[in-house]
Structure 1
């Protein structure tokens, strides 16, 4: 978040340049940095949740069978 905003603000100052190409690129790059920041904050976690769901299910621990000699907590 901080990196995206810092880059966007730094490049957005190019808008005030007297060189037309540099001013246009400043505006376009600022939008690109902000768009990439939003994508990293919203899209990447959603994609990771959706794509890695089978891997998380396969790695889930299997509960042990009751009464196999392990120590059990006493109920009060």
Structure 2
């Protein structure tokens, strides 16, 4: 599967979406709170988002998916 990263980080309410390249289906969405958490953890790699290297982008997408899944498994209201 191939994915696209659609990120709007320099706006009042930033977001990042991972889209399935062939269908355009939204596979994951990170909004302001999640992006802030990633930044606080040092896990939001802005250089990686601008990379054209497939290996870098593949690792970035993998880490974003893992973050989304881990966040979804937390009890509601729990923040790390």
Q: TM-score, normalised by structure 2?
A: 0.36
Q: TM-score, normalised by structure 1?
A: 0.37
Which structure has more strand as a fraction of its residues?
2
Greater relative contact order (Cα 8 A, min sep 6): structure 1 or 2?
1
Larger Rg: 1
